[in-house]
Amino acid sequence: MAMIFAGEGGGLLPAPAQEYTLGVVHSRARHAALAPPSLVELRFAFPPPADTREHARVFGLEPRFAAADAALVFSRRDWDGPTRMHDPGLFALLDRHAKALAGGASVALAARVRAAIAADLPGREPTLAAAARRLGVTGRTLQRRLSAEGTRFARLVDDVRRERAEAFLGAGDVAVAEVSWLVGFSEQSAFTRAFRRWTGRSPTEFRRAAVRGPRAPPR
């Protein structure tokens, strides 16, 4: 099972972004799986550096450099294996996005835009232009159609980011800095400000409350 990573519009990510993105995903996969998966293949779409020992140490195998794409390849058995983190909330969110992507024109425009926004995460700011390209329309047309549905692109971006951030923070095992990157913020301080605007609490305060759970009513 290959996970291929590309930049906006399908172009190649810069070399540091390839290393960081594949490293984070590989780390999360090993942490989430009940039995840590082994990579079948690791590909980078940039020339080999002078010393590749650190790449081999981090990923557990020698990568292939100067490939046509950047990718992690897991076996189907490992990909389908059980996970240690069962998160119905996050699964429901991702399931809705997948169905929206697959549903084509039969899905409400806002749902398809939310799916396009989710596809632009992690690690970068979702843009109207990128979402419009994914949907095959102009940015102006997309704005007009969203307005007709009573919403705005910025509001949908906030909705998707907030839902995903709450799901990751509720899981309890993803660092706040990583959550920030996963929902498209380049700086944790910007994520903290946005999250406080959405919820009235900082990410850390939200996580503490989620871990404690709801208080029992007084007797």
- Which residues have C-beta within 8 Å of that of residue 188, sequence separation ≥ 6? 176, 177, 180
- Between 203 and 4, where is the model more confident? 203
Contact 169, 203 (CB under 8 A): yes
Across residues 82-106, what is the average pLDDT? 61
Provide the pLDDT for residue 87. 58
Q: Say what percent of the chain tops pLDDT 70.
A: 83
Is the pLDDT score of 96 beyond 90? no
Q: Which two tokens stand for residue 61?
A: 């195998």
- Between 82 and 169, where is the model more confident? 169
- Which residues have C-beta within 8 Å of that of residue 106, sequence separation ≥ 6? none
Report the topology of domain 88-212: Arc Repressor Mutant, subunit A (1.10.10)
Contact 63, 43 (CB under 8 A): yes
Q: What is the pTM of this model?
A: 0.56
Provide the pLDDT for residue 4. 81
Is the pLDDT score of 215 beyond 60? no
Provide the pLDDT for residue 202. 95
Is the pLDDT score of 101 beyond 70? no
Give residue limits of the domains in the chain: 2-79, 88-212
pLDDT tens by residue, 41-81: 999 999 999 999 999 998 999 999 999 999 999 988 887 88
| Of 70-74, 90-94, 144-148, minimum mean pLDDT range | 90-94
- Between 200 and 211, where is the model more confident? 200
pLDDT tens by residue, 149-204: 899 999 999 999 999 899 888 877 788 998 998 898 989 999 999 999 999 999 99
Helix axes 88-103, 109-120, angle to 10 degrees: 110
SS3 of residue 215 by DSSP: coil
SS3 of residue 81 by DSSP: coil
Task: Name the pairing type of β-strands 39-43 and 2-5.
Answer: unpaired
Q: Which two tokens stand for residue 121?
A: 């995460």
